[in-house]
Amino acid sequence: MGSQVILDIISSSFVFGTLLVMALRLNGSVTENLETYNGEVIVQDNMCNVVNLIQYDFRKIGYCLDPTQIPDPTKAIILADTDRIKFYTDLSDATHPFGDGSLDIVYYYLGPTSELSMTPNPNDRILYRVVNNAPPKGSNLGVTKFSLMYFGALNDTLHTPVANPGAIWSMQITVQVQNYSMASLHYNTAKFDNPITQSYWRQMRLVSRNLKNR
Amino acid sequence: MGRSAIILVIGFTLIFVMTGRNLSSLGTTAFTTAINYYENTQGHNIAEAGANFACNQIFLSPNWRSGYSNVSFGGGTFTVTASPVSGSINQVQIVSTATYQGNSFQENILLQPSGFSKFGFWGGTGASAAAWETGDTVTGPMHVDGTLETYGQPVFTGKVTTKNGWNNLLPPQLPQFQGGYQTGVSLPLPTTAFPKLDSTAVAGGYKRVGSDLYLQFNANGTVTWRNTAAGTPTTVPITTLAPNGVLEVDKGNIYVQGTMSGQLTIFANKSSGSTGGQVFVQNDLVYATDPRVNPASTDMLGIVAMGDVTLLDNGASTFNMMASTYSQAGGLAVQNYNSRNSGVLNVIGGMIVQNLYATSNGATGASRRGYNLSLQYDTRFLVSSPPSFPSTGSYEILSWWE
């Protein structure tokens, strides 16, 4: 084995090592990007699910298949606060797609962050949806903000908790959803980067047709 | 060396292809989610537009039932039907169905004729001369077919509409419009209401012409009637006396009192001449089942008069009247309001009056005479009304499913 062979081996090892490092680096970077994008898709999907549910329910505030069950629409909202609302509606099911004609009470409220202390994200909370006297139901969709503002007939902001819910004409709902797990950034990050990179929020103003229909 | 290079190129190519595919798949999923949300929103909006078009048509022409078929709108189409609801009294069901990107979206709206009984207070031009002041509270929908005068901070809990706007006599204090305020709404009492009510009474109710009628309601669903105050009493079920719920006296007056069970509209007409057309309430006139205690109460009374509805002086300090009162050319009057015992007049129902009269002499302390008016709206009238009570001629929304 001459010195030329040794030199060739050293050179080829150096080239191979360089290529290997590049491949590993590429693999890590790709994995991180996939994790980031996948997280964004999950958050976006969760946001759509939450917003669809809220819009579906809130549009039916004060609705009943049998209108005589709720003759005075100003009594449709029972409780109105910044992070909770309770109202009358008539929920549909498979056999009654437009409601069954009896009033239901739906209660939305945001749980404390301590309930989800096991998740890496310190801000996520459970958005509960309680129907009548059933046990509260909620799943961790990464909701970090569920904020309600209420407006009167002249578009004036009502102080919360609203003392007279009958004065509510419209409301503004703000929902923010984050990934409940923190991104494990190693490659494409800076010190100032927030490890919770995935966050979507949606703000909408809703006027239930049944709130002031009479 | 050549083979190794080829293997290297193929290996890296495979890695890039897989990576690209995964990234593309995630991008497609995100895009699909966004598109689905957009399509749902757009489909809902198209269905809502169809429903709004139909409601507007019925608002402009109450008999409109032709609907829409496959109207192109917002990149989709909507079809709307407007049909009467079987088993109801003139209710109309609007169904708006939108199609967008192959998906279907539906909205259902239930309408019913709007009756004047839905108002807690309706005031004509004469009534608008009186100002609502601090301490006054009006519950239920309110309309003034003139100018609404306010002094201080009266509270209106229902929606207020006026024809000629609102005049605040004590700025900067503002009235509290808790149910909203809208001006430019003209809603006069219809001239066709009385002939229609008359034909209803003739068709299946009770009608007499040219003499007074004294009615004493009983809690068991009967009514004792007399031709004069001391006349021979005859007791019959309300449903026998006026099967369709309309009792009319034309060119005569109606005297009424008692505890009513059932549903009835008493109608004092004055089709011609100068006598009659008035209702005199002799004593308390209440329901057997108080709707404030039991909202499921089915007892309903409508008092419709061409002239005044007058509360006679019975010497009591509290006068209770449960009814929706409609006066085509008069108002709700308190006999001897400036000399009778002082007290409270409780009206549970509504007042639809051309004129607003004083109920007391306005004094305080020992010199006080007459009544403080407490008008409490009967919320059942938001969705129902006494039999054949005068209608506004338009429809209102009962429920909106979207």
Q: ipTM of the assembly?
A: 0.81
Q: Which of residues 131-190 of B touch A (CB under 8 A)?
A: 141, 157-159, 177-181
Instruction: Using alpha carbons, select from A196, A198, A175, A47 the residue that is nearest to residue A122.
Output: A196
Q: Tell me which chain A residue has its CA closest to the CA of residue B155.
A: A167
Tokens of A152: 């009167």
3-class SS at B312? coil
For B8, the closest chain A residue by CA position comes to A19
CA distance A187 to A19: 18
Q: What is the pLDDT of residue A182?
A: 65
Q: What is the mean pLDDT of chain A?
A: 84
- Distances in Å between the Cα of B248 and the Cα atoms of A1, A184, B202, B251, B279 are 128, 84, 9, 10, 11
Gap between the Cα atoms of B334 and B340, Å rounded:
9
For residue B24 the two structure tokens come to: 């593309």
Q: B18-23: which pairs have CB atoms within 8 A and are 24 or more residues apart?
A: B19/A30, B19/A34, B22/A34, B23/A33, B23/A34, B23/A37
pLDDT of residue A47: 86
What are the boundaries of each domain within chain A? 3-206
pLDDT tens digits along B50-104:
999 999 999 888 889 999 999 999 999 999 999 998 877 788 999 999 999 999 9
B397 and A CB contact within 8 Å: yes
CA separation (Å) from B172 to A10, A86, A112, B55, B169? 93, 35, 44, 38, 9
What are φ and ψ of residue A6, in 5° steps? Answer: -60, -40
CB A169 within 8 A of CB A207: yes
Cα dihedral A182/A183/A188/A190 (nearest 10): 0
State the pairing for strand pair B68-73/B318-334: unpaired
Interacting residues of B131 by C-beta distance below 8 A, sequence separation 6+: B149, B150, B151, B169
> How far A176 CA sits from the closest chain B CA (Å)?
16
CA atoms within a 13 Å half-sphere pointing along the CA-CB vector of B193: 25
* Sheet with B155-156: strands ordered across: B137-138, B155-156, B176-177
Say what angle helices A3-58 and B2-60 make with each other, to 10 degrees: 10
pLDDT digits (tens, 9 = 90+) for B13-62: 887 787 777 777 777 777 888 888 889 999 999 999 999 999 999 988 88
Chain A residues whose CB is inside 8 A of the B383 CB are: 67-68, 71, 214
Give the model's confidence band at B267: pLDDT under 50 very low, under 70 low, under 90 confident, else very high.
very high
Collapse the DSSP code of A9 into the 3-class scheme (helix H, G, I; strand E, B; otherwise coil) and give the result.
Answer: helix
Contacts with A210 from chain B: Cβ below 8 Å: 399-400
Q: What is the pLDDT of residue B320?
A: 95
**Contact indicator for A142, A180 with CB cutoff of 8 Å:** yes
Nearest to B326 by CA among B257, B278, B263: B278
Residue A29: pLDDT above 90? no
How far is the first Cα of chain B from the last one, in angstroms, to the nearest whole number?
Answer: 70
Average pLDDT over residues A48-61: 89
CB B216 within 8 A of CB B235: no
Q: Which of A16, A41, A150 to mutate to test the interface with B (most CBs of B within 10 A)?
A: A41
Which residues does A189 contact at the CB level (< 8 Å), separation at least 6? none
Structure tokens at B61: 């022409």
Write out the E strands in B142-278. 142-144, 148-151, 155-156, 160-162, 166-168, 176-177, 181-183, 206-209, 213-217, 222-226, 234-237, 246-250, 254-260, 263-269
Residues 6+ apart with CB under 8 A from B62: B113, B393, B394, B395
- Residues B135-177 pLDDT 10s: 788 888 999 999 998 888 888 888 899 999 889 888 888 888 8
A45 pLDDT more than 60: yes
- Return d(Cα B343, Cα A34) in angstroms, integer: 79
Of B29, B181, B400, the CB nearest to A153: B181
The rounded distance, in Å, linking the Cα atoms of A212 and A195 is 45
Q: Does A40 touch chain B (CB under 8 A)?
A: yes
Chain B interface includes A13 (CB < 8 A): no
Average pLDDT, chain B: 90
Sheet holding A170-178, edge to edge: A157-158, A143-151, A170-178, A199-206
Structural contact between residues B108 and B385, judged by C-beta atoms closer than 8 angstroms: no
pTM of the model: 0.78
* Mean pLDDT to the nearest integer, A16-40: 83
Tokens of B264: 């009835």
Percent above pLDDT 90 for chain B = 60
Chain B hits for A27, CB-CB cut-off 8 Å, are 15
Whether the Cβ atoms of residue B360 and residue B239 lie closer than 8 Å to each other: no
Lowest mean pLDDT among B27-31, B97-101, B180-184, B328-332: B27-31
